[in-house]
């Protein structure tokens, strides 16, 4: 017989509403075993055929930084190739597209005459846009664009800032002109004159483009940031861009973001950057503020790891049981309210790092009534509700982990969520498997989204209690709830 009656459980806390989107997330990943394949798969997502293809060297970002506006104007994908020959998979994609024209970006040091001749042998007309340095290449690309009176100015010795604004610049046919940090190259000055530029947008902070350069530009404005991730975030904020769909790419390499930028422009989508193993705080901030729920991920798991985006766009209520004057179950020197709050916070941190937007019912030793907890689940726009508890029984031999679900609302999804989390808890904690059980506990039967109540183990059992008191096993509990939730959504 259970000592505690869960129907009368109360949770502590003033709820903290961190994030609250209103719709389910959708995610598309465009990947491949290498950057050539990613570019090809981007092409296949965006073009059934194309009269023109843009070709750049797969290692030379400098030539390619300014290519997106030209590619968008020509409605052409950007494909990658080796220097001495056209990569076979890229050649196959050109054939699939039934292209008639190839525009090579960069000199023969980037794509050789031999490679150009391969294209000609395929029946394509070949145009090369080159120059003795990257600044001249950018100038020469700008000559192919319409005069719109506006240009983007980006640091030419690194790639992230230029890529962050590439979809916006491409869609508006604004040239991306390059500069040094402290000096404005003569080629860029010439391009500003040639294109009758009357206003400029500097992309990047003063550490990338100094105020000395800014002073030489016509009507300059600046989109800066403490790092490349914040710059990408601020591009969205500055131009108030639509975030109905957002492209996400590694900010540590150029290739996937470059080839994906034209498809992003076609879909009127901005580009955010990430670290391969986790979402930076700046990227999470704009996802939260704009309640972004639809993503196109560029690159494979080595570029954007699944764990860093596994819950991207999902909103989850985490509900640590009890609190304040309601300690919950107690035994073996432990109190339930302390255990579950620790596990809840550990779970929150892990889920946030995977892109989730978290609503916590409590983050301190405070009290919240049952009806208030259910109201949080129902009014927060969340996708699921997870209440965290530890069990107790009069018989100290009772032990193991179990997860409860209710059939009043979202019964199928609730049961599936319970099953996935139960499997992970038993596996990671080494507890006895007491299974998934249906019960009409108020905290889940009054909540209209997929909802479960987790019993981590028996605080009244010495073996289970030793695990519940261990920081290592509490982290394993959090990991189990996290991975079970990931499994449910994926």
Based on its alpha-carbon atoms, the radius of gyration of the chain, rounded to whole angstroms, reads 27
List, by residue range, all CATH 3.40.630.40 domains of the chain: 6-22+314-489
Measured CA to CA, the distance from residue 107 to residue 104 in angstroms comes to 8
Overall CATH class of domain 6-22+314-489: alpha beta
Q: Please list, in sequence order, all residues whose beta carbon lies within 8 angstroms of the beta carbon of residue 209, skipping any fewer than 6 positions away.
A: 153, 154, 155, 179, 181, 202, 203, 222
Sheet with 401-405: list strands edge to edge: 16-17, 357-360, 315-320, 384-391, 451-458, 401-405, 433-438
The residue among 29, 37, 45 whose CA lies nearest residue 309 is: 29
Residue 463, both tokens: 């073996």
Residue 112's pLDDT is: 97
Residue 309's pLDDT is: 77
Residue 279's pLDDT is: 87
| Neighbouring-strand partners of residue 223 | 203
Q: What is the pLDDT along the chain (490 residues), one digit of tens a residue?
A: 344 433 333 333 323 333 333 334 456 899 999 999 999 999 999 999 999 999 999 998 887 889 999 999 999 999 999 999 999 999 999 999 999 999 999 999 999 999 999 999 999 999 999 999 999 999 999 999 999 999 999 999 999 999 999 999 999 999 999 999 999 999 999 999 999 999 999 999 999 999 999 999 999 999 999 999 999 999 999 999 999 999 999 999 999 999 999 999 999 999 999 998 888 989 989 988 888 878 999 999 888 876 677 888 889 999 999 999 999 999 999 999 999 999 999 999 999 888 888 999 999 999 999 889 999 999 999 999 999 999 999 999 999 999 999 998 888 999 999 999 999 999 999 999 999 999 989 899 999 999 999 999 999 999 999 999 999 999 999 999 999 999 998 8
Measured between its terminal Cα atoms, the distance across the chain in Å is 37
Residue 379 buriedness (CB in 10 A; 0-12 / 13-18 / 19+): exposed
Residue 429's pLDDT is: 95
Catalytic residue of the set 282, 424, 436, 455 = 455
Phi/psi at 255 (nearest 5 deg)?
A: -65, -50
Give Cα 136 to chain centroid, integer Å: 34
Residue 5's pLDDT is: 36
The answer to whether residues 164 and 115 touch, using CB atoms and an 8 Å cutoff, is: no
Residue 7's pLDDT is: 31
Answering whether pTM is above 0.85, one says no
Residue 4's pLDDT is: 40
Examine the residue annotation and report whether 455 is marked as an active-site residue of this protein. Answer: yes
Measured CA to CA, the distance from residue 398 to residue 412 in angstroms comes to 29
Helix (H) or strand (E) holding 292: none
């Amino acid at each position: 017989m259970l000592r505690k009656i869960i129907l009368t459980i109360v949770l502590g806390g003033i709820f903290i509403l961190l994030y609250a989107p209103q719709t389910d997330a959708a995610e598309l990943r465009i990947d491949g075993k290498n950057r050539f394949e990613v570019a090809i798969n981007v092409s296949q997502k965006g073009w059934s055929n194309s009269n023109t293809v843009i070709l750049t060297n797969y290692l030379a970002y400098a030539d390619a930084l300014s290519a997106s506006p030209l590619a968008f104007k020509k409605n052409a994908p950007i494909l990658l190739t080796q220097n001495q020959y056209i990569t076979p998979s890229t050649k196959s994609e050109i054939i699939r597209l039934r292209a008639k024209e190839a525009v090579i970006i960069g000199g023969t040091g980037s794509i050789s005459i031999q490679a150009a001749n391969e294209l000609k042998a395929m029946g394509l007309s070949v145009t090369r846009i080159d120059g003795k340095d990257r600044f001249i290449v950018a100038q020469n690309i700008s000559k192919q664009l319409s005069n719109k009176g506006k240009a983007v100015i980006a640091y030419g010795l690194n790639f992230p800032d230029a890529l962050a604004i590439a979809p916006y610049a491409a869609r508006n046919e604004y040239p991306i002109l390059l500069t040094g940090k402290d000096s404005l190259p003569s080629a860029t000055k010439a391009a500003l004159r040639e294109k009758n530029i009357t206003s400029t947008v500097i992309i990047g902070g003063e550490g990338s483009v100094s105020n000395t350069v800014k002073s030489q530009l016509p009507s300059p404005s600046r989109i800066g940031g403490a790092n490349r991730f914040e710059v990408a975030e601020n591009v969205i904020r500055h131009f108030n861009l639509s975030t109905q769909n957002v492209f996400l790419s590694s900010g540590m390499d150029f290739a996937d973001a470059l080839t994906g930028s034209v498809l992003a422009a076609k879909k009127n989508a901005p580009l955010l950057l990430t670290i391969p193993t986790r979402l930076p705080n700046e990227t999470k901030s704009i996802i939260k503020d704009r309640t972004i729920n639809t993503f196109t991920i560029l690159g494979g798991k080595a570029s954007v790891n699944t764990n860093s985006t596994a819950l991207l766009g999902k909103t989850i209520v985490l509900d640590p049981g009890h609190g304040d004057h309601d300690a919950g179950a107690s035994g073996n020197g432990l109190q339930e309210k302390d255990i579950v709050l620790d596990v809840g916070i550990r779970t929150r941190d892990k889920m946030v790092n995977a892109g989730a937007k978290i609503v916590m019912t409590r983050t301190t030793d405070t009290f919240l009534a049952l009806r208030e907890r259910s109201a949080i689940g129902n009014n927060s726009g969340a996708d699921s509700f997870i209440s965290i508890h530890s069990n107790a029984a009069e018989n100290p031999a009772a032990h193991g982990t179990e997860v409860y679900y209710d059939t009043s609302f979202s019964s199928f999804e609730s049961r599936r969520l319970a099953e996935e989390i139960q499997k992970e808890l038993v596996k990671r904690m080494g507890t006895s498997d007491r299974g998934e059980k249906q019960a009409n506990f108020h905290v889940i039967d009054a909540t209209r989204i997929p909802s479960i109540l987790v019993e981590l183990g028996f605080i009244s059992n010495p073996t289970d209690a030793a695990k519940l008191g261990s920081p290592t096993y509490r982290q394993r509990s959090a990991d189990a709830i996290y991975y079970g939730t990931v499994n449910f959504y994926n």
